[in-house]
Amino acid sequence: MSGRTVLITGASSGLGEEMARQFAALGWDLALCARRTERLEALREEITARHPERTVALKALDVTDGEAVFTVFGEFAAEFGTVQRVIVNAGLGKGAAYGTGRHDANRQTAMTNFVGALAQSEAAMEIFRRQGHGHLVMISSVSALRGMRKAMTTYAATKAGVAAMAEGLRSERVPGVDVSVVYPGYIRSEMNAHVQQKTRFMVDTASGVRAMVAAIEKRKAKAYVPAWPWVPIATAMKLLPLSVVRRLV
């Protein structure tokens, strides 16, 4: 083992899958979990073929099962001896305009993205408090900066909640523990692969995740990625009238 272990949830696809590849290339051992274990198995085969010196451990996990989150995180910590970094990444992008009969989709997103993130953060902090060090990384979204409309309303609200959770933990200043929140812009992933129209500012998965990983490695408290154009856009989103924000993003 490398002596450095990163635990990534939602690692079977999209941003989580690519983060696993890139952290392995940087010398990190991997604790990967997701619901779809067959995809995790394929990812492990790919990573160990490229980096045979890496240790890659896998576990099935549905983050809406709070008890399972604590169990899986604890098992990873026991297997590796220590977990230096936990990336709360598992997420869902389902949603519909309120009052249109799709409360089920909005509730599922809320349970996965916020309640699931709460369980993951609690489980991670138990490990970090016990070992006296750690780095908690919360994956939010630029959509968290303002209220979004229609299908995005619940998703944006959950990501704002995740960011607030991270800020609260950072304010607590737990000794030895760093807390980062990453706000990805438009990065191509499985979650948005169904979007057919050309989206402004969209970048490919590898490039977008490279910016995320660089910010995480620097242990930044807050990062909008990729920095261009999302740092200036994020500033504008906080200040502009909602009517202008709607046209911008």
Take residue 39 and report the two structure tokens written for it: 């995809």
155 is known as an active-site residue: yes
Report the alpha-carbon distance of residue 192 to residue 190 in Å, rounded: 6
Interacting residues of 174 by C-beta distance below 8 A, sequence separation 6+: 125, 128, 129
Report the alpha-carbon distance of residue 38 to residue 105 in Å, rounded: 25
Interacting residues of 5 by C-beta distance below 8 A, sequence separation 6+: 28, 29, 30, 31, 55, 76, 80, 82, 83, 84, 85
Report the alpha-carbon distance of residue 117 to residue 41 in Å, rounded: 24
CA angle 229-222-134, nearest 5°?
A: 140
Q: What is the dihedral of CA 64, 115, 188, 169, to 10 degrees?
A: -130
Choice among 155, 183, 186, 224 that is catalytic: 155
**Helix, strand, or coil here: 102?**
coil
Q: Which segments within 38-192 are labelled E, that is strand?
A: 56-60, 85-88, 134-139, 177-184
Residues noted as catalytic = 155
